[in-house]
Chain A
Amino acid sequence: MTNIFEIAGEVSTFGFRALADLFRRPFEGEQIRRQLAEIGSKSLPLVIASGFALGAVLTLHTRSTLVTFGATAWIPTVQALAFFLEIGPLVTGLLVAGRVGSGIGAVLSNMRATEQIDAIESLSIDSFKFLVVPRIVACTLALPLLTLFLDFAGLLGGFFSEYAASRLSFQLYIARSFSSFEWSNFCAPTLKTAVFGFAIGTISSFLGYTTNEGAEGVGRAATRSVVVSSLLIILVDVLLIKFIFFIFPESAL
C-alpha cells in the first residue's frame, strides 16, 4: 500500500515538473508540433473509424428498444447526448491510451535502454524538457480535438444507420440531435478529455522515462502504460463527472 502512495507521489511530482518546465525556455515548439502530428494526426483514422462504427451500432441497439415505445424520433437526441457526454470522451481516452500510451512508454524506455537519453544529456540538453514535456503537452491538446472527431463520426455513423432504417433526412437528424443540447453538455465533457490527455502523457512518459530494465523493460513499460493509463482515465472520469455536475447542475439532466 505504501508503495502505491509512493508511486502516486512520484508520478504527481513528474507531472508537476512537466507543468513547471512548460513555461521555461526553450519552449520546444518544434518538438510539440512533431508530437502533435504523431499523437493527433496519426490517431485520427483509428478514432474516426471507431466513432463511426460505434455510432452505427449504438443506433441499431437504441432503435430496436425505442421502436417498442414509439419513440424512434428520439434516436438522434439519444445518440448525440450519449456521444458528447460520455462515449466520445471515454472511448477516445481509452483508444489514445492504447495507441499513444503504449507508444510513448515503448519509445522512451527504448531510448533509455539504448543510451539515447544519456546521449541527449551528454549534449547538455535537458532530456526531460526535450522528450517528456512535448509528449504531455501534445496528449493534453490532442485529446479534446480527437474527442470532437469521434463525437461527430459517431453521429455520422448513427445517421447512416438510421437512414438505412427510416430514410430520415440529414438536416432533420442533425436538428433532432442538438434539440435538447446545452453548451454545458458540449464544453465540459469535451474539455475534461484534456485531463485524460495529461494523465496518459504523464503516466506513459513516467513509465518509459524512468524505466531502467534494458530491452526487457521496453515491452513491460508499453504494457504498463496502457493498463495504468486506462484505469486512471476511468477513475478520473468518475471524479470529473461528479465535478461537472457540481459546476453545471443543469447538465445532470
Chain B
Amino acid sequence: MINGQGSAVAFEHVSKSFGAKQVLRDISFDVRAGEALCILGRSGTGKSVTLKLIISLLKPDQGKIWIEQDEVTHLAESELSRVRRKMGFLFQDAALFDSLTLYENLALPLKRLTSKSPEEVDFIVDRVLRQLGLAADEKKMPSELSGGMRKRAGLARALVLEPKILLADEPNSGLDRITSSEIDDLLLLQKEEHKTALVVVTHDVRGARRVGDRIVVLDKGKLIADGSFAEIEHSENEVARHLVTE
C-alpha cells in the first residue's frame, strides 16, 4: 500500500547518502495507522537514519516519503512543522533538555505549539507524567533521573502532544530486562488505547517480538525482509533469519 494511500508512513524508493557512504538504497515500506513496525538490523545499516527521514530531520537524496496524505520531501518549513506535529519521537538517549526540569520539558511543546491555558498545560503534563509513573519527579532535572526514568521521560515528552505516529529509536538500549519490558508495555498501551502507529528501531529481539505487528530488516542499507516474525524466521535470507533469532 505504498504512496500514502491509507498509510501512516510510507517510503517509496528512498535512498540516502552521507558523502561517499550510501546509507539507504532504494527502500520502500509502509506503516498502517495503528500498526507497530519494528526495524531490525546490524549497527550502521541506516535504522536511525530511517527515523530521522520520517520526521524530516534529514532529507532523502531520492524517493518519496509520505506522512498520511502529505509527501514531505519537498515541503516548506512551515508545512513541515504542521506534519511533524502528528509525530512524537523517543530518542535513543531520551534527548531531554538539560537546562529544563522534567515538567518544563513536557510543558515546552504544549506552550509553544498549542493555545492551551497554563491550567490546561498543568493538567496535561500531570496526566502524562502520572501515566508514565513520573508524577513525583516533575521538579527534577534530567541529570537527576536514572536511565529508565529518562527513557520514560523522553516517551512522556513524545506523547504529550498526542501524536498519531510514534517513532522510537532503540527504546530498550541500556536498560535492564524489567525496565525494558516496562517501556515495551507503555508502547503497546499507546498503540492499543490511542491507535498510534509505532515505528520502533531496536536491537532487542524479545521487545520487537512483543511490540511489533510487522518487522522490517535492513542490511547494508537495503531492505532484505518485510513481514511478520513468523515469516522472517522462515525467510530465505540468512542475515534476516539470524537477526530475529534470540
Contacts and interface: CB of A to CB of B under 8 A. Distances in A.
A126 B113 CA distance: 11
B91 A123 contact: no
A122 interface: yes
Contact of A125 (B91, B98, B109): B109
B98 to A, nearest CB: 7
Contact of B89 (A26, A107, A122): A122
A178 B125 CA distance: 57
Contacts of A118: 52, 57, 89, 91, 95
Interface residues of A, number: 16
Given A26-B112, A125-B112, A119 B97 contact: yes
A123 B84 contact: yes
Given A124-B85, A124-B113, A119 B108 contact: no
A123 B113 contact: yes
Contacts of A107: 98-99
B92 A122 contact: no
Interface range, B side: 20 to 34
B109 A123 contact: yes
A113 to B, nearest CB: 10
A120 B77 CA distance: 14
A26 B114 CA distance: 13
Contacts of A119: 89, 91, 95-97, 157
Interface string B115-132: 000000000000000000
Interface in A184-238: none
Given A26-B112, A115-B91, A115-B93, A122 B98 contact: no
Contacts of B87: 122
A115 B57 CA distance: 11
Nearest to B154: A119
A124 B75 CA distance: 14
A111 B98 contact: yes
B85 A116 contact: no
A14 to B, nearest CB: 17
A5 to B, nearest CB: 23
Contact of A122 (B84, B93, B99, B112): B84
A10 interface: no
A71 B20 CA distance: 72
Contacts of B96: 116, 119
Contacts of B95: 114-116, 118-119
Contacts of B112: 26, 123-125
B81 interface: yes
B198 to A, nearest CB: 16
B36 interface: no
- Give the residue among A115, A119, A122 with the most B Cβ atoms within 10 A: A122
B57 A124 contact: no
B55 interface: yes
A110 B91 CA distance: 15
A121 interface: yes
Interface of B: 52, 55, 57, 77, 80-82, 84-85, 87, 89, 91-93, 95-99, 108-109, 112-113, 157, 161
Interface of A: 26, 107, 110-111, 114-116, 118-126
26 contacts: A26-B112, A110-B98, A115-B91, A116-B98, A118-B52, A118-B57, A118-B89, A118-B95, A119-B89, A119-B91, A119-B96, A119-B97, A120-B97, A122-B55, A122-B57, A122-B89, A123-B112, A123-B157, A124-B80, A124-B82, A124-B84, A124-B109, A125-B108, A125-B109, A125-B112, A126-B77
Instruction: Please name the 9 residue pairs, one residue from A and one from B, whose CB atoms are nearest each other, closest first.
Output: A119-B95, A115-B95, A124-B81, A122-B89, A123-B109, A124-B84, A115-B91, A116-B95, A122-B55
